[in-house]
Amino acid sequence: MNNNELCMTLLKCESEEEVIKVLKKLDYWNNRECWTPYGQISNNRGVVSNQQSSPVAALVEKLVNSIDAILVSECFRKKIDPVSNAAPSNMNQAIELLLGIKGGSIANIDSRSRTPYAERIQLITTGTKTEPNYLIIDDGEGQNPKDFPNTFLSLLRENKTKIPFVQGKFNMGGTGVFQFSGKNSFQLIISKRQIDLPNADNKWGFTIVRRIEPEANQPYSSYVYLAPNKEILSFDEEFILVNPGQYPYLYSESLVYGTCIKLWNYKLQGSLKSLSTLNLRWELEKFLPDPAIPIRVKERRSGFRAHTFETTMSGLLSVISDGPDKIETGLDTGTPLNIPNVGNVQLRVVLFKEESNVERMPAGVFFIVNGQLHGELDEHYVSRKTKMDYIAGSLVVLADCTTLPSRVREDLFLASRDRMRLCDEKTALEEAIIEYIKEHPGLKEINIRRRQARMTKGSEEETLKIIQNLVRSDPTLANLFGKGKDINIPIGKLPEPIPYEGKKFPTFFRIINEPKDGLIKKCPKNRTTKIEFETDAINDYFSRGNDAGRISIIGTPSLKSLHLWNGKATVRFSIPDSCQVGDKYNIETEVSDISRAIPFKSNFIIEVIPEVIEKEPPEPHIKQSGKIAIPDIKDVYRNDWLKYGFDEKTAIDIKYNEKGEFDWYINMDNIYLINEIGRRRDINPDNLRYIFKYGLFFLLVGMIFQLQTENEKKEGDEEINFDIIKDSAKGLAVTLIPVLLQITKGKI
C-alpha cells in the first residue's frame, strides 16, 4: 500500500475499529517509533484538557481555522503579505477587502448569494446515526507536508499572532476536538498548499492523531501523530477525491488544494446526533453568530428522510436578517455601550414576535469576538435580573466585544473561547447590559403588553375572589400574602399603541424642555446621569446597517449608553473616577448623518454633587406585603400549550410582571389531572380541578415564601430560581389529588 492508497483508505474508514485495523496491518499501531508527540510536547495532556467543555464549541474551532485559512489565502492572492501594514487590520476589513462583501458581514448579502462562499468550507456528516463522523473540508491556503509540525500539529507557537485579521491566535491546534473524538481521539489531517502561494511544493501531506494510554514513564495519556522516520507521509497527485457528491455519495468529487480533516465517533449529545442540517446547524448558528464565511452543512449518512440534505450555516445575525417579519419592529437594534474600566461594546438587541416560529432560536445575551461566541447569559438569567419574563424567551442581545482593549479581552475570555472568567470586568459588563435592557423603553412597553394580553384573556374575577376569601379567612395564609391585601384583578386590555412614524433623516435633535439659561444636570459622584432629547428620527437611526446616524461627545464625561424610542433619545453619561464634588463639565453633543452638512448641536453642563449614600439593608424579616401578595392566575389548556411552552407534564409556570410581582399559569390539562378525572367518575370533575389548581398554588406559595425568606438573609441580590419551583410542581401534580382524597377519605 503506497502513501496515496493509505491516505484514501484511512479517509474512507467509517469506524475507529477500521482505522486501527489499517494501522495494525502496516505495523504502525504498536510501533511507538512511528509516532511523534503532538506539539513536540510529551506531556501535552495539560494543554489539550484545558480546551472547550462543549463538543460543538470544539468543532467550531476547526471551522474557524478553515475561515482563517481562506482569508490568508485570499490575502496572498491579492499580493498582500498577511503580516504587513497593508493587510486588513481586523476581520471585518478582511471580509470586505478580500471577499468583496459590503460592510464586512455576510448578513448584508441575501441567502442565495451566500451559497458560493459556503461551498468553500464544508462540514460533512458520515458514519452512522448513533456514531457520527465529521469531515471539515476547505479550499484555503493548505500546508506543505514538511510544515505540518509547525502548523496543524503545533502547540503554543506564534503562527498567526502577527496576522491581525484572523481568529485563531492561541495555537492550540484545535485540540479541543480530541476529548470528543471517540475512544482514541482520532483526527485525520490531509492538506496540500495552493500552488500559486509562497513556498508551495505541490505535494499532499497526511497524518493521523491518536491518544496514547498512560504507561510507566508517562502517568497521563498523551497525544501523538503518525510520522514514520520523523517525517509526515506525502504523495504527488494533482487532486484527490475527497468532496462529496449528491446525497448519499461520498468521496466522489475532487479537491485540488486545501485541507480535509476527519473526526470519528464524535460525541455530540442527544438530538445533535440527528439530521445535521437541523439541530446541529442551529447550534452552530449560536456558536458562530457572525462567521466571516458561511459553512455548507451536508448530511451523508443513510437512513434519513428530509426535504434537503444540504444547508448553509450563516450565523445568528444572518438568520435574523433573513426573517425581518418575525422581529418586533421599531426597536433600536444597536447601540454603543461604554463601560467604565472595561471599554466599548456594540450591542445588537433583537426581539422576536411571540407568534414567530423561532423555537430553535436561542435567547439570552451572547458575547462575541470576531464573529465567534465567547460566553453567554441564558434567558433565565436575563429573566431573573430584568423581571421581563414575557420577553426574555424571545430576546437576543448580541454584545460584540471585538473592540475591547486587548488586555480586557485577555482577562475576560479564556483561550478556549467558550466561557468567561469570574472577574470585575465580567461583573461590570453583565451589570451594564442588564441595566441597558431594564431601561429600554421599547422592551418595557412590549413586555407589559405581552403580559396583559395573556392575563386578560380568560382571567376570572370569581377565581380571584376565591383566593381572596381564603387569604382573609385563614391567618396562616394571611401571613404569607400580607394582611389586608386585596388580590389584583387585571385592568382589561391595554389600548393599541399609536404607530410611531419617524424620519430616516431627522429634522431636529434637541434637549427636551431645555431651560432658557441652559441645562445644568446634577450627578452624584458615584452615579451616572442621563440627558433626554427629542427628535423625529426613526428608532434604528443610530443602529441600522446603512446610512446610520452618528453621535459624538465633546467633553470629559463619556457616553455610556443610548436608547432611541419613538421620538425620545435617552443618553446616559459617565463622569470620571477622578472628579471632585463641585466640578462642572461642559459637554457638547453632535448628531449627524450623510444628509447633513451641519450637525445638530446641543450644549449642557454636568455638575458633580456628593455621593449618594447607600442605605443599609434592613434586618431580615417576614414581608407583610411581599411579592407574593398579589397573585394573578390564568388557566392554560392544551390548545395553548405551544404558546406557553407547556407539555402534558407541565404543572405551572411563574413569571414576573412589571411590578416585580408574580403571575401564575396553571396547566388545567395536566396529564395527571386528566387521569384522575377519568378514574374518579364518582367525583365532580370541577371539584378535582379546584383542588388541583388551588392545592398546587398554595403549596408552591409556601415554597416561594421560604425561598424569599432565605434569600433575604443572604448578601447580594438573590433571585428566586423558578426552575426549582416548576420541577417541584411536576412532582406535586402526580400525588396531589390522590393524597388529598386519601386524607379526606374522598369527601370533596
- DSSP per-residue codes, 276-321: IIIIIHHHHHHHSSS-SS-EEEEE--TT---S-SEEEE--HHHHHH
| DSSP 8-state secondary structure symbol assigned to residue 539 | T
The amino acid at 368: I
With bands split at pLDDT 50, 70 and 90, how would you rate the model's confidence at 582?
A: very high
* Rounded Cα distance, 365 and 438, in Å: 13
d(CA 736, CA 691): 8
pLDDT, tens digit (0-9, with 9 covering 90-100), for 322-341: 888 888 877 766 677 888 88
Sign of CA dihedral 264, 265, 267, 270: positive
The sign one gets for the Cα dihedral 200, 201, 202, 208 is: negative
Packing angle between helix 685-712 and helix 722-743, nearest 10 degrees? Answer: 130
What pLDDT does residue 736 have? 86
CA–CA gap between residue 626 and residue 622 (Å, rounded) = 9
Q: What is residue 106's DSSP assignment?
A: G
Domain architecture of the chain: domains with CATH: 3-318 (no CATH), 323-449 (3.30.230), 462-491+624-743 (no CATH), 509-609 (2.60.40.10)
- Return the SS3 of 200: coil
Q: What is the pLDDT of residues 94-130, one digit of tens each?
A: 999 999 988 888 888 888 899 999 999 999 999 999 9
Is 70 exceeded by the pLDDT of residue 358?
no
- DSSP assigned state of 181: B
Strand-pair partners of 666: 635, 652
Give mean pLDDT, residues 556-573.
89
686-706 confidence digits (pLDDT tens): 888 888 888 888 888 888 777
Please name the residue that has the C-alpha cell 426552575: 723
Q: Given this model, what pLDDT does residue 718 score?
A: 60
pLDDT at 621: 38
Q: Which three cell numbers stand for residue 309?
A: 440534505
Instruction: Give the whole-angstrom CA distance, residue 347 versus residue 395.
Output: 13
DSSP per-residue string spanning 558-576: EEEEEEEETTEEEEEEE--
Q: What is the pLDDT of residue 10?
A: 97
Burial of 493 (0-12, 13-18, 19+ CB in 10 A): exposed
* Contact partners, residue 39, CB within 8 Å, separation at least 6: 47, 153, 154, 155, 156, 173
pLDDT given for residue 281 in this prediction: 93
Query: Which residues, at least 6 apart from 516, have a Cβ–Cβ distance to it below 8 Å?
Result: none
- On the question of a cis peptide bond just before residue 248, with omega within 30 degrees of 0, the verdict is yes
Radius of gyration of the chain from its Cα atoms, rounded to whole angstroms: 30
> How far from 276 is each of 128, 133, 456, 702, CA to CA, in Å?
12, 11, 42, 45
Q: Is the model's pLDDT at 181 over the cut of 80?
A: yes
Q: Which three cell numbers stand for residue 158?
A: 506564534
Q: Residue 738 has which C-alpha cell?
A: 390522590
Whether the per-residue pLDDT at 11 is higher than 90: the answer is yes
- For residue 471, the model assigns a pLDDT of 64
Three-state DSSP class for residue 65: helix
Distance CA 342, CA 211 (A): 41
Nearest Cα to Cα of residue 734 among 699, 701, 690, 692? 692
pLDDT digits (tens, 9 = 90+) for 499-511: 788 999 999 999 9
DSSP state of 22: H
pLDDT at 430 over 80: yes
Tell me the three cell numbers of residue 285: 448558528
Nearest to 239 by CA among 255, 260, 258: 255
pLDDT of residue 624: 36
pLDDT at 557 over 50: yes
Q: What is the pLDDT of residue 494?
A: 58
Q: How far apart are CA 177 and CA 57, in angstroms?
A: 9
Task: Provide the grid cell at 200.
Answer: 508551495
Cα 718 → chain centroid: 23
The reported pLDDT for the residue numbered 354 is: 80
Q: What are phi and psi of 742, to 5 degrees?
A: -70, -45
pLDDT tens, residue by residue, 280-324? 999 999 999 999 999 999 999 998 888 899 999 999 888 888 888
Q: How far apart are the first and last CA of the chain?
A: 82
Residue/partner pairs of 508-514 with CB below 8 Å, 24 or more apart = 508/534, 508/535, 508/536, 508/600, 509/533, 509/534, 509/535, 509/537, 509/569, 509/591, 509/600, 509/602, 510/534, 510/535, 510/600, 510/602, 511/602, 511/604, 512/568, 514/602, 514/604
Band the pLDDT of 357: cuts 50, 70, 90.
low
Beta bridge partners of 674: none
Q: What nine digits make up the cell of 315?
A: 450565523
The overall average pLDDT reported for the chain is 85
Cell numbers representing residue 130 in the block = 448513533
Quick one: cell of 444?
418595557
Q: Which DSSP string corresponds to 581-609?
A: TT-EEEEEEEEE-TT-SS-EEEEEEEEEE
